[in-house]
Amino acid sequence: MTGSPRRTVVTTALALLAAVAPLTSSVAAVPRVSVAAADAAAEVDLAKSKAQWIDRNTLAWDVQGEAATQELAYSRDGRLTVKDGKLSGEGQRIRLTPAEGGLTDAQKKKYPHLKAYAAFTVDPRDRDRVRRALTGQLVATRSDADGKLLAATGVQTQGVLDDLYSAAATKATLGPQFRQGRTTLAVWAPTAQSVALELDGKSVPMRRDDASGVWSVTGADSWSGKPYRYVVKVWAPSVQKVVTNKVTDPYSTALTANSERSIAVDLGDPKLAPAGWDRLKKPKATPLRDAQIQELHIRDFSVEDRTAKHPGKYLAFTDTASDGMKHLRKLAGAGTSYVHLLPAFDIGTIPERAAEQATPDCDLTALAPDSDEQQACITKTAAKDAYNWGYDPLHYTVPEGSYASDPEGTRRTVEFRRMVQGLNGSGLRTVMDVVYNHTVASGQADKSVLDKIVPGYYQRLLADGTVATSTCCANTAPENAMMGKLVVDSMVTWAKEYKVDGFRFDLMGHHPKANILAVRKAVDALTLEKDGVDGKKIVLYGEGWNFGEIADDARFVQATQKNMAGTGIATFSDRGRDAVRGGGPFDEDPGVQGFASGLYTDPNSSKANGTPAEQKARLLRYQDLLKVALTGNLAGYTFTDSAGRRVQGSEVDYNGAPAGYAAAPGDALSYADAHDNESLYDALAFKLPADTTAAERSRMQVLAMATATLAQGPSLSQAGSDLLRSKSLDRNSYDSGDWFNAIHWNCQDGNGFGRGLPPAADNKDKWPYGKPLLTSGTLTPGCAEINGASAAYQDLVKLRATEPAFSLATADQVQSRLSFPLSGTSAETPGVITMELGDLVIVFNATPEAQSQRVAAHKDTAYALHPVQAKGADPVVKSSSYDPSSGTFSVPARTVAVFERG
């Protein structure tokens, strides 16, 4: 979901999921009565949960005025109803007293979104009833002197559950445990009325620990390797009744195919370790500020690689002779340090058995490049095919089964580990894309897990008790102690048991900053001696977007761009991305140009770009954004902007937010494209003038990628972008199948452009812009352009990796060693950025003409094209020159050139 913080709806893996599985139980009819009261027209609706029980003594409720009585009513059997304006049904009561002054300062700090709520205190005489009340239906009521309801609602219980149980529960070991020949299974279910273990066709009762709310059972060693489920009897607010759920383990370590059962598996079992696993030698760790990252989807990597022996599978990364692995080794040799894998945990929307996976029944290759038939054919099978990006987690700590040679049992564990071995052996460390901010389903839906065990706890609830879906799906609540623990425990498992070298957090801004820092602390504690991994060398980064119900720290201090500065955990920076491409991901007209797509210097026909004067002004503003991006998005970096003003990075505007927000290099991650939105090649297809040749397009691709590669701090590129990868203009290919997504490592197979109009759901409004492009001969690159772009990009990566100046460690070092000598003067050229970095001068010439940049301060100083480029693959850059008599650097059109002081 590497999109933009300006999103109101995140378009990614499940944004357009048609429906979740039907409920396993029908929803009982719930009385709803509107009662006019003297203090307010209050709603009586037991299906909503507007009251929030925030600790064992306090209920917060957004009500006003006085009532004769306030109570919490509870019924173990869920029999409370409203009849004739009064609460009826078999139940018990907990008396409440209004708290003068409302919530305390400490409570308001912990729950800022509830600060205006009224507060009610549990009567001391009833406090011994609290734990029992939480195991059934709960209703908060306010009544007049005659017992008539003024207000009645269900109750949210996350806060009181944390208050009562988290101190002990957060220390508990959950899931399967194996000690001294015995197998123990444990699950946190404090509101359950009973929990049993279903194993070997038998139901085994589990014992509840009252301090923690954890249910556990210990059995023989023969339980190891057996499928199991928990049988949980619990009140479910989503269906307003007590249900008995048969549900898998949130702490599963292995699964049967299609996640139907958990399997009791010890990940430390030597049988699950591939040969050499305990002696795995990793490539030298690269600090995050130096990381050069390739973002890669496991299936995209090999599914159409004819040289792969295991297409679409984990084991494709062990096919050392395949075109894909050869290319990854070339990138590693140039200086690429990490492969970032899109989600590889258990995915909720892919049938795992090959026999159950649908395939398009059309001859896609026979259709016209601008036809809408390809997308129509693929869309018919998309919901049941083998493809999805995977941003729809079902079980967080088990590898996805569809990528294994056999999804049944532990083959996926072994083969995931072999994939890590294969990447490490090729000189690349492994990053996992993790998605703890939402689940594929909630409530009583078929693919709901967490919410079937502790209903209303793991998912983030809105004010009325409904589940928040701002992330596209059912949001989780890592601000709650046990969801936060699940995040930490899961990531430690991936780091320790699978030797993953880094993690990228999807929508990290939906996590509390404290949760992400807890992950950092937990992985830092892993050591080679004790755990087989050096946790301090694990890198962490994520999407720090600020939106949704938690925006602007509404509920907690978020892990957003500005808040994560200085933590050593990077956030994606969209500042440079938008400046280099032009516009934003959601422009109505995709022809809005930017620095690397011809704004002002090579205008297209789009009226959205404005007059030449407007284009020039916007281009210079983009150049300021790119200057800030090249510093690593430092908030305090001071420079002269294009208007001649002395400003800090934080004073440069980015859509109303500061362009610079980082405290040190490594706080911000630069990128020109990623899986979200159009690939870079497709964005340039929309934006560059239609008659731009394939050769010119390939040069602009390299230049755009260079703005991220040569910036301070880490950078990320979508795998295949160096090969001009296209998805045939698809802006959201999460479920578009192999046809639109597969990477083509052999240039003779093309780059993916012209495979038909992209799927209508996310792209139809852009079809009128795209249709003429897909048949244009100027947009179809050949081997010369594809291989040339890749080789030129690899030269830049090598240059970046071998020059210490690109690896400055502090903001002070950047301030003293990096400058833009022509910025804000009459010599600043629209479409050209000249950057001085220690002994280097880098000129980014995005214009269609050769440009000369005179830096008077360097007159009579010897400079020459850097040896990496002078001896490199790009013949055009070799014509760059330097005249010491005037201090003038001359660079060909559409070229980035790096000069080194002699």
The residues carrying an active-site annotation are 506, 543
Q: How far is CA 356 from CA 350, 353, 399, 733, 886, in A?
A: 9, 5, 19, 22, 70
Cβ–Cβ < 8 Å for 581, 679: no
What is the C-alpha to C-alpha distance for residues 206 and 186, in angstroms, rounded to an integer? 9
* DSSP per-residue string spanning 67-89: -SEEEEEEETT---EEETTEEES
Report the DSSP beta bridge partners of residue 657: 654
What is the C-alpha to C-alpha distance for residues 168 and 166, in angstroms, rounded to an integer? 5
Q: Go through 529-548 and write b for each residue having 16 or more CB atoms within 10 A of its CB, e for each that does not.
A: eebbbbbebbbbbbbbbbbb
Q: Which amino acid is at 151?
A: A
Which residue has tokens 């619990």? Answer: 234
Q: How far is CA 61 from CA 71, 301, 597, 737, in A?
A: 12, 52, 53, 47
Cβ–Cβ < 8 Å for 844, 820: no
Element housing 156 (H / E): strand 149-156
Residue 590 is encoded by which pair of tokens? Answer: 């995709």
Left if phi > 0, otherwise alpha if psi is -120 to 50, otherwise beta: which for 427? left
What is the C-alpha to C-alpha distance for residues 546 and 566, in angstroms, rounded to an integer? 18
Element housing 295 (H / E): strand 292-296
The separation between CA 701 and the C-alpha centre of its own chain, rounded to angstroms, equals 25
* DSSP per-residue string spanning 622-686: HHHHHHHHHTTSBSS-EEE-TTS-EEEGGGSEETTEES--BSSTTSEEEES--SSSS-HHHHHHH
Report the DSSP beta bridge partners of residue 203: 198
Terminal-to-terminal C-alpha distance of the chain? 44
Instruction: Please calculate the CA angle 543-545-547 and round it to the nearest 5 degrees.
Output: 145
Nearest C-alpha neighbor of 352 from the set 292, 295, 309, 398: 398
Residue 218 is encoded by which pair of tokens? Answer: 């210990």
86 class by beta-carbon count within 10 Å (0-12 exposed, 13-18 middle, 19+ buried): middle
